[in-house]
Amino acid sequence: MAEKGKITRALRKSGAAAGGTSRPDQGADAPQTVAGSEAPKAPFRRVEGRCGQPDPTVVLVHDKWGEAATQFRAVRSKLLAMNEGEPPRVLTITSGTRKEGKTTVSLNLAAALCEVTKGRVVVVDGDPRGPGVHLLANAEVDKDMFDILQGEKLSLDDAVYETAVPGLDIIPACNITELDGQAGLLANRCEALLSELRRFYSFIIVDTPPVIASSEACTFGLHSDGALLVARLEKTSREVTKRAAEELQHSGTKILGCILTHRQHHVPGAIYRLVGHTPQYYYQNYRKPGRKKQKEQGEDAPAQSPG
């Protein structure tokens, strides 16, 4: 995942560029509110109560102030600062090969965006060969993305699932047994699907298969506002990443950046606290309500002689 033990500080001021205001009671890592991003209420039937707690890899839920969660917020801040405060709303997440962490990045980035937007965020599973969004979201699903596409008129009814993360929905791709004809269907109706989702969602994250092995990444990337390329440290070669970037560019996809996953920092936590406090350590030990008052009372209390 993201680098452990390192906090990106250079992007803190990007919240102001995005039109947000920080909360003074939570410090530099406080969520930023994106102005004007509230989406209209969806007129379709959203499936509720079918998702449990997400997988532990969704660190924005299970380790909210850990180093990995902070790095996802740093990526979010950089995205929100793009285009002079007009951030990309539809993001395609892809990679050069499998098992790079695309689905984990998609869910965590979506959860990070949920913290700052007034509207809702949806993650679309665009990987029919190896769907995983519904697994990480711990969802029991019936309909999926291709049920939406196969209708004469695009209908989101009963194909959008509300997750346990506040403000986050998913559209799975889990019922595909044969891919014959599905690639053409997706290519023909992908733009219409994303246009429909833009009406009701502030941000749309599309988790796609590796760009070199399939066409879905280029299909979604062409109709999105940009793509993030995921690479895994000590696994993905530079040649593969370079070829994946070239494939996206040749398809007309705008590449917004690259996310490096599975990078580990080897400095122990005790040493790290001497050179720079982790967010979790900082909030637990320095930002508790009444801690300063208790400390002052302790210093001013008269000394008592032993019994």
User: 31 in a domain, yes or no?
Assistant: no
- For residue 139, the domain's CATH number is 3.40.50.300
| 102-114 and 67-80 helices, crossing angle to 10° | 70
What are the Cα distances from residue 220, in Å, to 82, 100, 191, 201, 208?
20, 19, 8, 17, 8
Q: Which domain holds residue 228?
A: 44-283
The pLDDT, as a whole number, for residue 213 is 85
The pLDDT, as a whole number, for residue 184 is 79
Place of tokens 């070239």: 246
User: 295 in a domain, yes or no?
Assistant: no
The pLDDT, as a whole number, for residue 36 is 45
The pLDDT, as a whole number, for residue 117 is 93
Strands (E), 77-165: 90-95, 121-125, 160-162
The pLDDT, as a whole number, for residue 155 is 92
Alpha carbon 267 to chain centroid distance? 27
The pLDDT, as a whole number, for residue 284 is 61
Strands (E), the chain: 46-47, 90-95, 121-125, 160-162, 168-171, 203-207, 226-232, 255-261
Which residues of the chain, if any, have pLDDT below 70?
Answer: 1-41, 175-183, 264-307
Give the total number of structural domains in the chain: 1
The pLDDT, as a whole number, for residue 23 is 35
User: 50 in a domain, yes or no?
Assistant: yes
The pLDDT, as a whole number, for residue 218 is 94
Whole-structure pTM value: 0.76
User: 131 in a domain, yes or no?
Assistant: yes
User: 139 in a domain, yes or no?
Assistant: yes
The pLDDT, as a whole number, for residue 17 is 39
Q: Is 24:73 a contact under the CB 8 Å cutoff? A: no
User: 53 in a domain, yes or no?
Assistant: yes
pLDDT digits (tens, 9 = 90+) for 116-168: 999 999 999 999 888 999 999 999 999 999 889 987 889 999 999 999 999 99
User: 156 in a domain, yes or no?
Assistant: yes
The pLDDT, as a whole number, for residue 151 is 79
Place of tokens 């102030």: 65
User: 38 in a domain, yes or no?
Assistant: no
